[in-house]
Amino acid sequence: SVLFLLPKFDIIQSFVPDYLHIVLEGTVKTFLKHWIGKDSKGKNWHFNKTKRKILNDRLLSIKPSVEITRAPQGIDKLLIWKASELRSFLLYYSLVYLKSLLPNRHLKHWFLFVYSMTVFLKETITYEELVKAKVAVNKFVTEISDFYPNCSMLYTFNIHVMLHIPKAVKDFGGLWASSTFPYEHFNGVLATFIKDTRRVPQQICTSY
What's the pLDDT at 187? 76
What's the pLDDT at 55? 96
What's the pLDDT at 121? 96
What's the pLDDT at 116? 98
| Dihedral class, residue 81 (left if φ above 0, else alpha if ψ from -120 to 50, else beta) | beta
Round the CA-based radius of gyration of the chain to a whole number and report it: 19
Residue 189 DSSP symbol:
H
Sign of the alpha-carbon dihedral angle for 113, 117, 120, 124: negative
CA distance 48 to 36: 7
Longest Cα separation, the chain: 57
C-alpha angle 19-25-27 in degrees, rounded to nearest 5: 85
b/e burial code for range 115-151 (CB count within 10 A of at least 16 → b): bbbebbbbeebeeeebeebbebbbebbeebeebbeee
CA distance 179 to 153: 25
Q: Which residues contact 139 (CB under 8 A, 6 or more apart)?
A: 112
Q: Around Cβ 188, how many Cβ atoms within 10 Å?
A: 8
Question: 165-172 and 104-120 are packed helices; what angle lies between their axes, rounded to 10 degrees?
Answer: 20
What's the pLDDT at 74? 93
Sign of the alpha-carbon dihedral angle for 60, 81, 102, 94: negative
Alpha helices (runs of H) in 37-152, residue ranges in sequence order? 49-60, 83-88, 94-97, 104-120, 127-142, 144-147
CA distance 31 to 102: 12
User: Taking Cα atoms as reference points, which of 140, 113, 95, 123 lies closest to residue 179?
Assistant: 123
pLDDT in tens, the chain (208 residues): 787 888 888 877 788 889 999 999 999 999 999 999 998 999 999 999 999 999 999 999 998 888 888 889 999 999 999 999 999 999 999 999 999 999 999 999 999 999 999 999 999 999 999 999 999 999 999 999 999 998 888 889 999 999 999 999 999 999 998 888 777 777 777 788 788 777 788 877 887 6
